[in-house]
């Protein structure tokens, strides 16, 4: 009996030593030492009562999953990566315990991901390309929101409201695999406007952005050699828009390229430390530390791996404790990859069981503050930062006023630059007779408004709702104003804060004065609300 008990205790310590050789080296912390000593002491004192004392991990988990938490309520859970079966077409859906968790409000927010490489995975619907498949998936998310089951999170305020109040769970829409961009940067803006706030750049195969970690289903393997020029453009644009860059599945060379380009925190939503060289899907400690060094997060997932001691929820908890020791508690989160894993660790069936993991972490030496950070607080902080506009004080929807005074008969107003900021929509104006319609073209959007000043008592004020679809894309917006007839004209452009950002007066008969003027208005000033 003593031999078997000692063997178990020694096995635990041996496992720690092996991991030290593969990457930990001298990173044996005081908490790990005390934990190992406790296991050894328990093995001697408990003898045949070892199972009752919670020393083993198999089956449904040990008594270490018991503790202060009896459910997920109050844990403020934000799942860094999930799929939820209801997100897919009916013919691809299976029973989803994650959907049941959604109905029970067992989490605060989930980052709901549509896979961007449906065709590569064999989920093909006639008439739909990758962009069409992904767009349809997001339409199904809208169905859940329209039914009042969940709500979308688009801004930091949305996130704070969902996490602090008694509200339906929130969806942060994400895309796993940037294939639907089809090499077209303009598509990124479209997906942003659909509500997507994060993209996993690579998924199951190499794409226009870079290489994948592990080849699958006949892909030829890494051949690009890392992040492409288009990949760099996508990252820069994502940072401008306020989208989180997810590096999961990206090869080591691609990750290195990403780290060279990013200026904001990034995330690997579902991964783990590579304890063995034959597990290329996981990350080396150097890679994980580099991700954390951006201010970013590493998400741990509940996958069961036969070629690694990762069979139970206890093993999963041990790995998270290792990550906390190495990366710091502020850089660890949970990404369950719900409805996307082939097998789950014993003792965990769905996100509704996360409280058990919380108890294990508490029993492993973490505080409740630490657990709350890992389960949601860290992600809330990260998304609050990423979703904020690039420039403080600049909103993505402002009202600008264009005041025109003239004794001329009419004026014609054009927006001649900055067209990418505007989308085809009718814009309110005052008075109602001066209605403005934006016409979408390839690279040029025009506000083409014929203003009848003769019937407006020679004065008109247009109130224009300006939707900014790209932050900091261009330094200025250029207007062109033409006046007709004989007379003088004064024009003021006023931003949403009531500040006159530009003014121009020209008089009939002045030397060199023609009948058209350009206004170059600084973006930061124009779109300040």
Q: What is the pLDDT of residues 401-422, one digit of tens each?
A: 666 665 554 455 544 433 333 3
Q: What is the dihedral angle through the alpha carbons of 257, 263, 265, 267, rounded to the nearest 10 degrees?
A: -20
Contact assessment for residue 151 and residue 167, using Cβ atoms and an 8 Å cutoff: yes
Report d(CA 488, CA 405) in Å as an integer.
8
Confidence of residue 375 (pLDDT cuts 50, 70, 90): very high
Closest-CA residue to 516 (of 484, 492, 485, 481): 481
Higher pLDDT pick, 487 / 40 = 487
- pLDDT surpasses 90 at 87: no
Q: pLDDT tens across 423-478, in order?
A: 222 222 222 222 223 322 222 233 334 444 444 444 555 555 444 433 344 456 66
- pLDDT surpasses 60 at 33: no
Phi, psi of 68 (to 5 degrees): -70, -20
For residue 421, give Cα distances in angstroms to 82, 417, 465. 31, 9, 12
- Please give the model's pTM, rounded to 2 decimal places: 0.64
Rg (CA), the chain: 28
Confidence of residue 197 (pLDDT cuts 50, 70, 90): very high
For residue 349, give Cα distances in angstroms to 32, 97, 154, 309, 517. 28, 8, 30, 18, 67
Phi, psi of 427 (to 5 degrees): -115, 135
- DSSP strand E in 254-409: where? 267-271, 297-300, 332-334, 397-406
DSSP code of residue 26:
T
Report d(CA 476, CA 262) in Å as an integer.
24
Report d(CA 172, CA 79) in Å as an integer.
10
Report d(CA 514, CA 182) in Å as an integer.
46
Report d(CA 443, CA 431) in Å as an integer.
29
- pLDDT surpasses 60 at 98: yes
Report d(CA 62, CA 52) in Å as an integer.
9
For residue 365, give Cα distances in angstroms to 317, 321, 325. 11, 9, 11
Closest-CA residue to 173 (of 469, 383, 336, 341): 383
Average pLDDT over residues 482-498: 65
Report d(CA 388, CA 113) in Å as an integer.
21
Helices (H) and strands (E) in the chain, counts: 15, 20
- DSSP strand E in 324-448: where? 332-334, 397-406, 410-415, 426-427, 436-439, 446-447
Q: pLDDT tens across 144-157, in order?
A: 888 888 899 998 98
Average pLDDT over residues 69-79: 93
| b (16+ CB within 10 A) / e for 343-357 | ebbbbbebbbbbbbb
Closest-CA residue to 201 (of 213, 189, 216): 213
| b (16+ CB within 10 A) / e for 160-178 | eebbeeeebbbbbbbbbbb
- pLDDT surpasses 70 at 91: no
- pLDDT surpasses 50 at 247: yes
Top mean pLDDT of 54-58, 278-282, 481-485, 495-499 is at: 278-282
């Amino acid at each position: 009996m003593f031999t078997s008990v000692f063997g178990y205790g020694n096995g635990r310590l041996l496992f720690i030593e092996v991991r030290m050789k593969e990457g930990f080296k001298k990173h044996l912390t005081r908490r790990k030492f005390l934990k190992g000593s406790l296991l050894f002491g328990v093995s001697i004192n408990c003898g045949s009562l070892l199972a009752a004392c919670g020393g083993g991990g198999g089956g449904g988990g040990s008594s270490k999953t018991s503790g202060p938490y009896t459910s997920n309520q109050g844990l403020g859970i934000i799942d860094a990566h999930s799929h939820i079966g209801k997100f897919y077409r009916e013919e691809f859906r299976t029973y989803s315990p994650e959907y049941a968790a959604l109905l029970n409000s067992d989490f605060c927010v989930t980052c709901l991901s549509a896979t961007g490489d449906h065709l590569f995975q064999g989920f093909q619907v006639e008439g739909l390309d990758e962009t069409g498949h992904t767009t349809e998936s997001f339409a199904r998310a809208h169905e859940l929101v329209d039914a009042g089951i969940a709500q979308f999170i688009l801004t930091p305020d949305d996130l704070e409201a969902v996490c602090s109040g008694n509200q339906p769970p929130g969806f942060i829409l994400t895309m796993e695999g940037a294939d639907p961009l089809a090499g077209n940067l303009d598509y990124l803006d479209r997906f942003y406007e659909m509500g997507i706030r994060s993209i996993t750049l690579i998924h199951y195969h190499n794409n226009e952005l870079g290489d994948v970690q592990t080849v699958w289903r006949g892909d030829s393997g890494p051949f690009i050699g890392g992040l492409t020029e288009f990949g760099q453009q996508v990252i820069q644009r994502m940072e401008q828009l306020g989208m989180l860059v997810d590096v999961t599945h990206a090869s080591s060379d691609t990750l290195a390229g990403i780290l060279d380009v990013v200026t904001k925190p990034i995330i690997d939503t579902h991964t783990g430390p590579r304890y063995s060289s034959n597990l290329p899907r996981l990350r080396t400690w150097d890679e994980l530390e580099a991700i954390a060094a951006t201010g970013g997060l590493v998400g741990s997932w509940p996958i069961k791996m036969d070629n690694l001691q990762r069979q139970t929820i206890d093993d999963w908890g041990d790995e998270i404790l290792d990550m906390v020791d190495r990366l710091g508690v502020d850089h660890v989160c949970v990404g369950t990859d719900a409805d996307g894993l082939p097998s789950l660790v014993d003792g965990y069936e769905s996100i509704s069981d996360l409280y058990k993991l919380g108890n294990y972490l508490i029993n492993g030496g973490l505080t409740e503050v630490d657990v709350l950070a890992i389960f949601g607080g860290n992600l809330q902080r990260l998304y609050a930062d990423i979703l904020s506009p690039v420039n403080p004080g600049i909103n993505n929807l402002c009202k600008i006023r264009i005041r025109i005074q003239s004794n001329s008969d009419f004026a014609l107003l054009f927006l001649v630059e900055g067209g990418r900021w505007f989308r085809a929509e009718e814009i309110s104006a005052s008075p109602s007779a001066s209605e403005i319609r934006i016409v979408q073209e390839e690279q040029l959007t025009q506000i083409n408004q014929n203003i009848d000043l003769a019937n407006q008592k020679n004065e008109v004020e247009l109130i224009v709702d300006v939707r900014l679809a790209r932050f900091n894309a261009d330094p200025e917006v250029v207007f062109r104003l033409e006046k007709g007839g004989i007379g003088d004209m004064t024009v003021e452009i006023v931003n949403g804060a009531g500040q006159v950002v530009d003014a121009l007066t020209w008089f009939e008969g002045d030397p060199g004065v023609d009948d058209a003027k350009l206004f170059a208005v600084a973006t930061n000033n124009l779109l300040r609300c």
